[in-house]
Amino acid sequence: MVTRLYSHPIYLEHLTPAGHPERPDRLRVIERVLEDEKFAYLDRVEAPEGDPQTILYAHPQSFVDKVRAAIPAEGLERIEADTCVSPKSWLATLTAIGAANAAVDDVFSGAADNVFVASRPPGHHAEKATAMGFCLFNHAAIAARHAQKAHGAERVAIVDWDVHHGNGTQDIFWDDPSVLYCSTHQMPLYPGTGAANETGAGNIVNAPLAPQTGSDVFREALRSRVLPAIENFAPDLIIISAGFDAHHRDPLAQINLVEDDFDWATGQLMESASRDCGGRLVSLLEGGYDLHGLAFSVAAHVSRMMRG
């Protein structure tokens, strides 16, 4: 079992204001926890810079131009209330896209069995033409389209267990039955979307979780809603929007998961991938804002990917 890790120092140079939850320290703690000897066989590869043209798989050119024009020569620029950019933010998000697309290439070529991309900024709140929620472009959506365009994938499943609903991914694939989008998330919570009756073209499966619930409710949502949807869909690839902010320590939500829940959920999706799509599984980092909870949840996730 070959598990590949993509990261890059440029991700640390996407800067946010002091006190902002989406900060470079998130990747530093991930790097440290993955230095443990049990990750000695993790295949570590520096993320490549992405092709800007692939952004157009999910976003219009006018929006791409707007984001690029907002990148400041120095200091910080606020795109919207929660989302800031700094001089290296364009290269950081382009390299996040490059890593996501390279991960797709790897699992289709057999270079890796599965891949975890430790990048920032995150992506799942980015709608077709709106940057929001710390996100500039939607890396999972671009990677799904890349799988279809470059590798002939007919069906791609995106499973989003970030505690915040991935409104951007839902927006992009709302009327596209070739992509299944399944999300577990706290509701009510930012961004306010993700009700169970939001079903798109029958390809959207939302499983909202009430505040102060935990492992049992989360696992039941996967068992009863998400995993059957994947089995019925029979995807050629599974992409995880892997946010770890449903951890009980996280300051931005009130779902009480522990590291073992992410281990279990990873194992369930690996079983789905093994059954439906030759094991092809790509995981992209989204949220997770308590540094301890994030680090050890990622460790559980990646360890499970490596165990096969």
Q: Catalytic positions, please?
A: 125
From CA 216, how far away is CA 194, in angstroms rounded? 20
From CA 200, how far away is CA 251, in angstroms rounded? 31
Which residues, in sequence order, are CB contacts of 270 under 8 Å at separation 6+?
114, 279, 281, 304, 305, 308
CA neighbor of 289 nearest in space, from 3, 30, 4, 5: 30
From CA 223, how far away is CA 209, in angstroms rounded? 14
CA 266, 114, 121, 182 torsion: positive or negative?
A: negative
Laid out side by side, the sheet with 114-117 consists of: 43-46, 3-7, 114-117, 281-285, 237-242, 156-160, 179-186, 204-209
Residue 192, φ and ψ in degrees, nearest 5: 95, -5
CA 39, 142, 182, 237 torsion: positive or negative?
A: negative
From CA 73, how far away is CA 87, in angstroms rounded? 5
CB 140 within 8 A of CB 173: no
CA neighbor of 283 nearest in space, from 227, 243, 240: 240
